[in-house]
Amino acid sequence: MEKATNGQFREFIGKILVKGSDEIISSIDKEKIQSCINSLSSEETVLKNLVTFINSGGKVIVSGSKIIQIDRSIPFDPAKFIGAGWSIEEQDEKSLALTEIDLTKVVFETTLEKNEKTINGVDKLKCLKEKNVIRLDAKIFQTLWENQNFIPEEWKKKTNGNTTFIFFDGTILRFSYGNRCVLYLYWYGGKWHWDFYWLDNDFDVSYPSAVLAS
């Protein structure tokens, strides 16, 4: 995520002042806005909420909400997000069609059969395609990364005592050297991290894929 400039922030505030018609102002609770004014003088809560509002694309975030909006007007750009040499090889078209998802309906799929401890990434991808699921793509991954308050608490849980690495197989990336990989999120050391994993590697039970029923 690139940092906003001072000019952009001032323009944002300026637009609010210009658009603040009498009709809009009359719909604001007098006591609530005074509370916000007072809070700005003593704490940063209001400003932090404003930042969250901006980073969510100007959408109101309801506490406890599990529905997230996916802005498809700006596609995921691996070269910009990761670095030069990265490109998209393939994507799950059903996932790309999603403009919002209910995170309570996301399930973790390992594709492991009974008594199987690991599966090769290529075979895992094949199994996922054969199942009636939607493999969440990199834009959904990016939306969660940039709005971490949306990520469900249960996603932080470990699997058999090990860190859970949550994969987004709806987008398969390729590096310029030819290696294919998948992006993932994981909770470690009290904060969220992201990374990528080569598709030729093996995946165990703590390496599930985030999917939705098709």
Instruction: Tell me the per-residue pLDDT of 128-151, one tens digit each, with 9 for 90 and over.
Output: 999 989 999 999 999 999 999 999
Which pLDDT score, from 0 to 100, does residue 201 have?
97
Same domain, 126 and 170: yes
143 located within any domain: yes
What pTM value is reported for the model? 0.72
Same domain, 197 and 99: yes
Domain that holds residue 41: 6-55
1 located within any domain: no
Same domain, 49 and 73: no
60 located within any domain: no
d(CA 170, CA 182): 9
62 located within any domain: no
Band (pLDDT 50/70/90 cuts) for residue 79 is very high
Band (pLDDT 50/70/90 cuts) for residue 165 is very high
- What percent of the chain clears pLDDT 70, i.e. is strictly above it? 90
Which is it for strands 133-135 and 171-175: parallel, antiparallel or unpaired? Answer: unpaired
What is the token pair recorded at 85?
């040499």
25 located within any domain: yes
Same domain, 71 and 165: yes
Evaluate if residue 196 carries a pLDDT over 90: yes
Please state, rounded to an integer, the average pLDDT across all residues of the chain.
89
Same domain, 44 and 130: no
Q: Counting beta carbons within 10 angstroms of the beta carbon of residue 163, is it exposed (0 to 12), middle (13 to 18) or buried (19 or more)?
A: middle
Band (pLDDT 50/70/90 cuts) for residue 89 is very high
Is residue 70 a contact partner of residue 140, using CB atoms and an 8 Å limit? yes
Band (pLDDT 50/70/90 cuts) for residue 29 is confident
Is residue 106 a contact partner of residue 212, using CB atoms and an 8 Å limit? yes
Give me the mean pLDDT over the 185-196 stretch. Answer: 98
111 located within any domain: yes
Evaluate if residue 17 carries a pLDDT over 70: yes
Angle at CA of residue 115, ends 153 and 104, nearest 5°? 20
Rounded to the nearest 10°, the torsion over CA 171, 79, 180, 145 is: -50
pLDDT digits (tens, 9 = 90+) for 37-69: 777 766 566 676 777 677 766 665 554 558 999
Q: Counting beta carbons within 10 angstroms of the beta carbon of residue 137, is it exposed (0 to 12), middle (13 to 18) or buried (19 or more)?
A: buried
